[in-house]
Each structure stands twice: as structure tokens, then as C-alpha cells.
């Protein structure tokens, strides 16, 4: 699925919270919660999930997809922030 543009996000019927999540993370809050709760993502725990997301960000950087890389880095930071809450 292609990334939504700023205009797509602004004109969407998403909640204000989900609009913020789309800008920061490239997905909705529910998508982030699902990612965090998916047992396949936690084989190595929060640490490995964050490392995997950062690897995806590196690949995006190599391909010139800077905005997507920024969102992946924010996702990794979200995972680390949630890990810190435990």
C-alpha cells in the first residue's frame, strides 16, 4: 500500500489522534498496538523489534525513501518508549 500524502491524511476521515499517528509513524494507533501485540514480533522482545524496524529504516534510506525512513525510526522509538514503561 503506498504511503498517504499530507493532503490524503488531512482530508481523511481518521480521528485527530490517528492523523497524528499517520504523520509520525505512517500508520494508525491501532496498527501500532497490533504491531506491539503480535507474538511474531516479540520472538526477541522489544529490543529485537526495534532493531528490525531500524533495519527497515536503513533500507528505506538506501532507496531514497527518506519520509518512510523517518516514520520507521519513529516506530522504533515508540517500541523503545513502550519497553521503558514495562
40-64 tens-digit pLDDT: 887 888 899 999 999 999 999 999 9
Helix residue ranges per DSSP H, the chain: 6-11, 16-25, 29-37, 45-62, 66-85
Q: Would you state the pLDDT for residue 54? A: 98
Q: Would you state the pLDDT for residue 41? A: 80
How far is it, in rounded angstroms, from Cα 64 to Cα 54? 15
Cα radius of gyration rounded to whole Å, the chain: 13
What's the length of the chain?
Answer: 86
Q: Would you state the pLDDT for residue 77? A: 96
Q: Which domain holds residue 80?
A: 12-85
The number of domains in the chain is 1
In a domain, 5, yes or no: no
SS3 5: coil
Where residue 31 falls among pLDDT bands split at 50, 70, 90?
very high
In a domain, 44, yes or no: yes
SS3 13: coil
Amino acid at each position: 500500500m503506498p504511503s498517504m500524502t499530507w493532503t490524503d491524511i488531512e482530508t481523511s476521515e481518521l480521528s485527530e489522534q490517528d492523523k497524528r499517528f499517520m504523520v509520525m509513524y505512517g500508520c494508525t494507533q491501532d496498527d501500532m498496538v497490533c504491531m506491539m501485540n503480535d507474538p511474531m514480533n516479540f520472538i526477541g522482545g522489544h529490543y529485537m523489534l526495534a532493531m528490525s524496524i531500524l533495519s527497515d529504516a536503513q533500507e528505506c534510506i538506501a532507496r531514497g525513501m527518506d519520509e518512510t525512513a523517518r516514520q520507521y525510526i519513529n516506530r522504533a522509538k515508540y517500541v523503545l518508549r513502550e519497553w521503558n514503561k514495562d
